[in-house]
Structure 1
Amino acid sequence: MPIESDHRASDSPYVARVWRGRTSGVDQLTSIATSTWELVFWEQQGVMHAAVRGPETTASIAESVGDSESFGITFAHGASMPHLPIGPLVDGGRDSPHVSERTFLLRGEEWQIPGFDDAELLVGKLVRAGVLVRDPLVDEVVRGGAAPVGSRAVQRRVAATTGLTQGAIRQIERAREAAVLLGAGVPALDVVHRLGFYDQPHLARSLQRFIGRTATQLRQPDPAADPLSLLYKPDDPAGS
């Protein structure tokens, strides 16, 4: 397989998902839109790298040079790093200035690179050091909960921690869920009604913008097409 991937949920309120992957013989892949940001580590041609990657507002083509192994911590809505304003990270990222085989630099401090099974140990250290903070209201309203403050205050806090508007987050998450359902064989018309799209053309536009695929391509994947980056239903703890 050109891409092998695995992911798991987390019991940390700061973490949405922990994932790992391996690519082999892949020149490029389709990176799908995501409303969350993440801390990513990867080894390529024997060299370790680390970076903070921001939300992605559209599907895009990502280049891959040779075989690589990667691991990432996807943070929950509401989690942020005050020393790294999220706005400039949207559709981009920032590499760690120094990475060794076992450590990386973040906020000018050296940290141990964690593994897939113990990512929460690093998250806990970042929280205790004040590198990682959380606004629980943001996570609550993104999930559809009521806010104890006015709508303008909510909008400011969502934008400050996610770099996106609530509307953009909903659009991205809905497209991702639609892609998962279509890939599981759910008919497009059922997806339209289940997720609240206006009609099938609306679904088609959303898929093309955020996933880079049509409904037919998701139901009947082309083995010759560029592989998709990791796709899962965000609110499904067991994965998909």
Structure 2
Amino acid sequence: MALESDDRPSDSLYIARVWRGRSSGVERMTSVATSNWELVVWQQHGRVHVGVRGPETAASVADVPDESESFGITFSHGTSMPHLPAARLVDAHLDSPHVTATAFVCRGEEWTLPDFENAEQFVTRLVREGVLVRDPLVDDVVAGEQPRIGARTVQRRVAAATGLTQGAIRQIERARQAAILLAEGAAPLDVVHRLGYYDQPHLSRSLTRFIGRTATQLQRRDAAEPLSLLYKTEG
């Protein structure tokens, strides 16, 4: 039984991460919360599928197609699609209405399927054609920078680009950081102090809600179901 994954950063301001995976003998996985949306391409039994997967505000159990291969582009917080409101994607996914072995339909137009190596070139084409836009303020705010505009304007622009509030993004990203630290062997109390949780029960509630694991399970890696992609980011 295996759920193998590989991921890489990107030099594109529109992309947070590029990843690929392969499953064999795994029926289910725990899909951890994420504040980013993704374009996902997967192949099963010779058939190709393409879909957009929105932010997930809580951990959930997801079925894993057996003997499948997948690839995804995780977009930065400021990146969005004008034709598809971000709020519509939260805790949801939308499949392309038409997919072939080499192309798929998005915004009523046909696009050549991207892959792990050419994700940046593909995204550049989407940007050039107006399918993707980016609000740099949103990425800056999520990274902790203080904007020079009013709080209500910031909240409105963050919600428009991500479908989430700043508070929800902070909670999700902090839980993901905590899960990574615990899996690397950090003590729960150290994680509490390092990431600003009130106490260990606060950390525990956050992990249960957003990661679907306890601190002990993350440290021992003893859960029956594998986790979806967790990766380090700079900062």
Q: TM class, shorter-chain normalised?
A: over 0.9
Partner of 2:145, secondary structure, is coil
Gap regions ≥5 residues in structure 2: none
Please tell me the residue identity of whatever aligns with 1:44: Q
Gap regions ≥5 residues in structure 1: none
Partner of 1:91, secondary structure, is coil
Matches within 5 A, 1:5-44: 5-44=5-44
Measured after TM superposition, the shift of residue 150 of structure 1 is 0.2
Please tell me the residue identity of whatever aligns with 1:99: V
The CA deviation string for residues 66-90 of structure 1, in whole angstroms up to 9 with x for no partner, is 2110000000011000001111110
Match of 2:65 in 1: 65
Q: Is the 1:173–1:234 contact (alpha carbons within 8 Å) kept by the matching residues of 2?
A: no
Match of 1:180 in 2: 180
2:76 equivalent to 1:76:
yes
- Aligned equivalents of 2:27, 2:61: Cα separation in 1: 10
Aligned length: 235
Measured after TM superposition, the shift of residue 221 of structure 1 is 1.1
Match of 1:235 in 2: 234
The CA deviation string for residues 22-63 of structure 1, in whole angstroms up to 9 with x for no partner, is 011111110000000010000012110000110000000101
- Aligned equivalents of 2:93, 2:115: Cα separation in 1: 21
TM-score when normalising by structure 2: 0.98
- Aligned equivalents of 2:40, 2:176: Cα separation in 1: 20
Partner of 1:225, secondary structure, is coil
Match of 1:211 in 2: 211
Partner of 1:228, secondary structure, is coil
Match of 2:116 in 1: 116
Please tell me the residue identity of whatever aligns with 2:163: G
Measured after TM superposition, the shift of residue 65 of structure 1 is 3.0
Measured after TM superposition, the shift of residue 235 of structure 1 is 3.2
Q: Is the 1:18–1:72 contact (alpha carbons within 8 Å) kept by the matching residues of 2?
A: yes
CA RMSD of aligned residues (A): 1.0
Identity in percent? 67
TM-score when normalising by structure 1: 0.96
